[in-house]
Each structure stands twice: as structure tokens, then as C-alpha cells.
Amino acid sequence: MIAEESVQKALKIVEDRMDIQPSIGLVLGSGLGGLIEQIGNMRVLPFDEIPCFPRPSVKGHQGNLVWGNLGNKQVIALQGRVHYYESRSMDQVAFPIRILRKTGIEKLILTNACGAINPDFPLGSFMFIRDHINWMGSNPLIGPNREEWGPRFPEMRDAYDPGLIEIGLRSAQSTGLETFSGIYCGVRGPNYLSRAELKMLRFFGADTVGMSTVPETIAAKHMNLPVLGISCITDMAVPETLTPLTHEDVIRVAEEAGPAFVRLITTILERL
């Protein structure tokens, strides 16, 4: 379990550097970090300079904490994240979310690159996460509970805030973007799934599959932090039509979707 002393050390560095009071937190998934270029009055703090802050090792995750103005909001963003498969504990995966919450944010937007199990979701489109399946085999709340963070047994009903989803869908419609809503399944990774595994997840009701987001959502819900989850469809994970896939393919599709992603996020922020 992450020690409270570690949280306070990291938070002190962040608060000493930060010159705004952010209201919105953002976590930018694989290939989606280009949104950072749209932030005004931007300040950058590398993860390496924050005590106890986990550093990502995966391409497409730069590893910076960034804050400034985006749309009409003051935001703080993780340009990249760590994953459970990077030999990280669930505590470490959730650690940045704990820090974001303690900076005073009121809402959290989690984004990711994912595979579409649902064949109706085309490459480069976006799905608002309506619910999730935790198929990672662990949970960031295992261990002693900290009452100052949240209750021992938090419930996951509406883990993704229905009001925020509605704002997201209306924002997408106003910008002419085709978006969907559905169920995201979080798996441990790092391998892409077999046909049999994908058929199983589809039977369970999953529309998309990825290797992040779920632990962060659980930690945020534990702290009573409203979450909006947005997945960028970067590959087709339809078991009957699987084709060879590399991480470079995922990054390329996410980067190509970048301009639409920027329009979507900035429009959402203006409506929050």
C-alpha cells in the first residue's frame, strides 16, 4: 500500500509548482497526448521530478504532468499513464489519480486507446464508457482502507457519471462527430487477446477492451470524484476477423484521430 508520506511528498512538489486551481483532471491515453499542445499558459512537470510518482515505460506515454487553460477551464493533465502490466502494483496505477484529486479537481476525464469487440464501432471513432468490466484480476482498493479517501466498500453503480456522458454525447453531436456509448472491459495485458478470449468478453457484454482506465475509475469513485470515460477505437478486436496488430498501429490510429479528439474534449469542457 502506498504510504501517506509518499502521497504528501508528491503533492507538495506539485502544489509548490502549480500556479492555478484546476477544476478538471485529464488522463491522456496512448497516442492522445497531442491535446497538450492546445493548453494555454502551459506548465510542464515531468513525472521524474515528482517523488514516488510512477513513470511510464510504454511508447505513446510521455510521462508529464501538465496544467494550464483549455477551452474555458483550468485543467491538470497526465500526459501518459502507467499500466498494471508494467510490473506496477494497483496502488501505483491509482497513485496519480489520488494526487489529481488532492489538487482540488471536481471532475475527471479518463481517455484510452482500445480495441472494438463491437463490429459497429469503426476505427478512429470514440466511445463514451457507460460501464466497465474489471477483468484485471486485482483492484486498487485491496488492503487497509483509508477513510479520508473513501469508504471501505464503495459501490460502482454509475461509476461513469450519467450526466457527464450526456454532456459528452451532446458535445459530439454539436461537432458532427459520430460517437457511441458502451461497456469497456479492462484486462491486465500486455498481450492482445485470443479469439476465444474475445468471444468470451463479447458474451459477457463488452463492446471494447483495453489495458487501463478501470483501476483509475475505481480509485476516483472511491474518492467521490465524477468520471467521464472516453475510448478511442484504435483497432478491431472482432474475433472472427482478427488481423495482425502492433502497438505502432494503435499509436498511428490514435494520432490520426487527434484533431477530432481535440474538438471533442474542448467542446465538452466548454459545456461543463
The dihedral sign for the CA sequence 216, 218, 221, 227: positive
What is the tens place of the pLDDT at every residue in 135-154? 999 999 999 998 989 999 99
Q: Where are the beta strands (DSSP E) in 177-245?
A: 179-187, 208-210, 227-236
Q: What's the domain count of the chain?
A: 1
Instruction: Provide the residue range defining the domain that includes 176.
Output: 4-271
Rounded to 10 deg, the angle between the 258-271 and 247-256 helix axes is 60
Residue scoring higher pLDDT (32 or 3): 32
Q: Are strands 64-70 and 107-116 parallel, antiparallel or unpaired?
A: unpaired
CATH of the domain at 100: 3.40.50.1580
33 CB-near residues (< 8 Å, 6+ apart): 60, 61, 62, 79, 80
Taking residues 191-219, report their average pLDDT.
Answer: 97
Check whether 130 has a pLDDT greater than 80: yes
134 CB-near residues (< 8 Å, 6+ apart): 186, 214, 218
What is the tens place of the pLDDT at every residue in 37-77? 889 999 999 999 998 888 877 665 678 999 999 988 999 99
